[in-house]
Structure 1
Amino acid sequence: MSDITVRALGENEWEQYRSVRLNALEESPDAFVATADEERGFEEDLWRDRMRRSQRLIAEQDGAPVGVASIGQARQDGEKDNERVAELFGLWVAPAARGTGVASQLVQAGADAARRQGRSHLAYWVGADNGRAVAFASGFGFRPTDSRRPMRVKGEDDDEDEVAMVLPLGEDRGVPPL
């Protein structure tokens, strides 16, 4: 197996992000709030706005995309920005690349990007009952917080909650409010 590389996409690479995002929505529809049908109809301006709003990371193997993640501004109290905290979201790995370390590389690249932005913590929301996701995040160093919200992705159990897990990026080991 050849090496996996992770890089940030620029605004002008919106079409590449769109392609990977739509692939993720089609392959794992239960993992996202949006649907491929909804996003397929988005115009170029909306995709470019997304590229400006958050940093998009792509994992590639032999030049082909095998994963994607985004780093954006964390929010607290519903709408208020928490300037110290970045949020990891939209993490997806192609089925053929799962279990090869791609997700870890994307998370590490996200943590590095957040650190370069001067952030003290990286937040990642996971299903409270999703043992695999909680174990992955915990193994990476994320710690669960008291912050909960209703699951944004609706499935069989609409009563499920998401828990905010936080990764300290520097010396501040405390948990910021989310």
Structure 2
Amino acid sequence: MGPMADITVRALTEEDWETYRSARLEALTESPEAFVATVEDEERFPEQEWHNRMTRSVRLLAEVDGEQAGVASIGEATTEEEPTVAELFGLWVRPASRGTGVASALVKAGADTARERGRTHLTYWVGSDNGRAVAFASGFGFRPTDSRRPMRVVSEDDGEEEICMILPLTGDRGADF
């Protein structure tokens, strides 16, 4: 697939739960090291759990020429201190679609979704040793924050951390969070 492929991103509805389930299970199968969940656990989820997931967060599906190419989710990162922040999570792109703009299309759609919902910032947690992901997020305009947490994904490297990166969704890209 060339970089000129037609990439579309759409928000899935609750009725699209099977589409999301298919994409999510493929992501967990292909990149198990990237997720806290396991494909074995999520394969056992009852249908109602998938319906619930569709209503808790916005599930975005990227397609290239009508074929699933990637998925991402936008959820609330709201706290009492920061009620206007959304979180990008679960970003995954099929290996054949990597490097073609699918990830960028998903992040742009996620930022647009968060902005449409009145959010002023979008956060994205990235493994501090994942240089490729940090570079991707930085290139998109995300900036590192002081927030860190232990990696939630099981790793051979004890003590590995995730860093919270943040993207201002307003016109002022230089605003501090």
- Provide TM-score, normalisation by structure 2: 0.94
The aligned length equals 173
Q: Over residues 91-129 of structure 1, what are the superposed CA-to-partner deviations in whole Å (9 max), with x where a residue is unaligned? A: 000000000010000000000000000000000000011
Matches within 5 A, 1:26-45: 26-45=29-48
Q: Over residues 4-55 of structure 1, what are the superposed CA-to-partner deviations in whole Å (9 max), with x where a residue is unaligned? A: 1000000110000000000000000000000000000001111111100000
Structure 1 unpaired stretches of 5+: none
Are the aligned partners of 1:74 and 1:81 in contact in 2 as well (CA < 8 Å)? no
Structure 2 unpaired stretches of 5+: none
User: What percent identity do the matched residue pairs reach?
Assistant: 66
Instruction: Tell me the CA shift for residue 75 of structure 1.
Output: 4.6
Supply the distance in 2 between the matched residues of 1:81 and 1:5 (Cα, whole angstroms).
Answer: 35
Supply the distance in 2 between the matched residues of 1:81 and 1:92 (Cα, whole angstroms).
Answer: 29
Return closer, same or farther for 1:175/1:41 CA change in 2, 3 Å cut-off: farther
Matches within 5 A, 1:160-171: 160-171=160-171
Supply the distance in 2 between the matched residues of 1:140 and 1:81 (Cα, whole angstroms).
Answer: 25
In structure 1, what is the equivalent of residue 154 of structure 2?
A: 154
Q: Over residues 118-176 of structure 1, what are the superposed CA-to-partner deviations in whole Å (9 max), with x where a residue is unaligned? A: 00000000001111110000000000000000001111112100000000000454343
Instruction: Tell me the CA shift for residue 82 of structure 1.
Output: 3.4
Supply the distance in 2 between the matched residues of 1:156 and 1:167 (Cα, whole angstroms).
Answer: 30
Runs of 4+ residues deviating >3 angstroms: 171-176
Amino acid at match of 1:165: M
Is residue 49 of structure 2 the alignment partner of residue 51 of structure 1?
A: no
In structure 2, what is the equivalent of residue 132 of structure 1?
A: 132
